[in-house]
Amino acid sequence: MPVRLIESLATTGPLAEVFSDASVLQALLAFEVALARVEGRLEVIPQDAAQVIAEAAIPANFDAAAIAHEASHAATPGVPLVRAITEQVRNRSAGAAGFVHWGATSQDLCDTAMVLLLQKARPILDGGLARLESALRRLSQQHRRTVMLGRTWLQAAPPITFGLKAAGWFGAVQRGRQRLHAAFEDALVLEFGGATGTLAALGKDGPRVARALAEELGLGCPEAPWHTHRDRLAGLVCACGVLGGSLAKMARDIVLLAQNEVAEASEPAGSGRGGSSTMPHKRNPVGCTLALAAAQRLPGLVASFLSAMAQEHERAAGGWQAEWPIVADVVQSTGLAITSMADVADGLHVDADRMKANIAATRGVIFAERASILLGRKIGRDRAHSMLEEASRTAIATNRSLREILAESPEITEHLRPAELRDLDVAERYLGAAEEFRRGLLASLPTGRAGRSKSVQRRPDGKRSAGKAKTRRKK
């Protein structure tokens, strides 16, 4: 499905397809077909009725636009869809029509359909994160010895390595991926509770129908229906919000490094990428910009979802109905940020020479801390700090190196050896534990394989069990 023009800066092609009308309709129908098949297999409804329902509930038989139009009259697309399925079934078998949607409610249908859409979105997000992690690991390794300015409050500070900076991005992305993995594990569960979450219409068959339905759809079966308990979805939405923030931090760093006055890194260039409609020379950081735009949207979306969690009793009036577009926007914004930053990291150009030149341009004042520590061991921290403040101001005012200023001061040369002064502004000798920290970040545990979700189920003895979710059968 082509991305709609109004969403061209808010999603990706694959995720637009996941949340397209055709995909949503397929997910809704998948629930109804699976329900009928399971109930037929368990002899809750006649098997021939289940077969007719399965044959009738195919996307080609339904008009998504018409269902969307009618949804506003019921505050749910479930009512017009069930009505349309029933009509299709009645055209084939009047008797079978009475068993459509047997024992279920509209929220069962809509919530489970959303979970099925999230199940489809999951490998898309994880694939992008895997690509991003791989690119960041490669950058970190490649630039483990590339020194650059550290920057605090956007001002020059003692040096770090670009390898450490990239490893910091990597660590945040990997932690975000782990949170997302856990949130998907928790959220990909069936919703099936009937009118008020008791499955009373199915009598003693309710729990076994629920377990079989979850297995049929490849979802976990929760301990109980979750009509107005939205914490699982909220966990996923929040995990997306945190991940979006981490991607935005990386994007912001790169945008600042790409400024002409800094020029230490730049996004990959190519035909039609990063250009301007009026300035031919421009090489705009488009990938970072898209990620930052997504991150601008996410906090508001997350807050909207959380504010809708106070849902009344056994069925909400407003809260539940608010969720579909919020969840869809959250996942698509997150996916766009992931894809954008993976593209950036894959082709990021790092200018090591410019990084060294920017260090040199500080005239060594970024090593005032180093000199203060060396001197402080001899004359005390406070006195040394005061002397280095004055020396730094003089170096900046006279456009001379800090090392030269210090070498002219008898009070300082009395305590600092010539070798200490000579090596003062060698960046490679003032990196502390940068390499140890870099290796530690890259050695952190990887995320478990995506898509291998564990279903939460109850054994006949009532105890909790976990197993790999089965792949949803083709309908």
Residues annotated as catalytic (active site), given as ranges = 276, 315
Q: For residue 209, which amino acid is it?
A: V
**Contact present, 206 and 103 (Cβ < 8 Å):** yes
Per-residue b/e over 67-82, b at no fewer than 16 CB within 10 Å?
beebbeeeebbbbbbb
Half-sphere exposure of 343 (CA within 13 A, CB side): 20
148 φ, ψ to 5°?
A: -155, 165
Residue 246 corresponds to which tokens in the numbers above? 């981490």
DSSP, res 264: S
CA separation for the pair 351, 347 (Å, rounded) = 13
CA distance 151 to 262: 12
In sequence order, what are the residues at sequence separation of 6 or more whose Cβ sits closer than 8 angstroms to the Cβ of residue 260?
Answer: none
- DSSP string spanning 199-226? -GGGGGGHHHHHHHHHHHHT-B--SS--
CA distance 181 to 122: 9
Two tokens at 9?
């800066």
Q: In what helix (H) or strand (E) does residue 139 lie, and over which residues does it extend?
A: helix 106-142
Distance CA 397, CA 432 (A): 29
Rounded CA-CA distance 199/193 in Å is 5
Give the C-alpha separation, 283 to 267, whole Å: 8
Residues ≥6 apart with Cβ < 8 Å to 387: 372, 375, 409, 411, 412
As a whole number of angstroms, the distance between CA 138 and CA 144 comes to 10
Query: Are the CB atoms for 53 and 100 separated by under 8 Å?
Result: yes
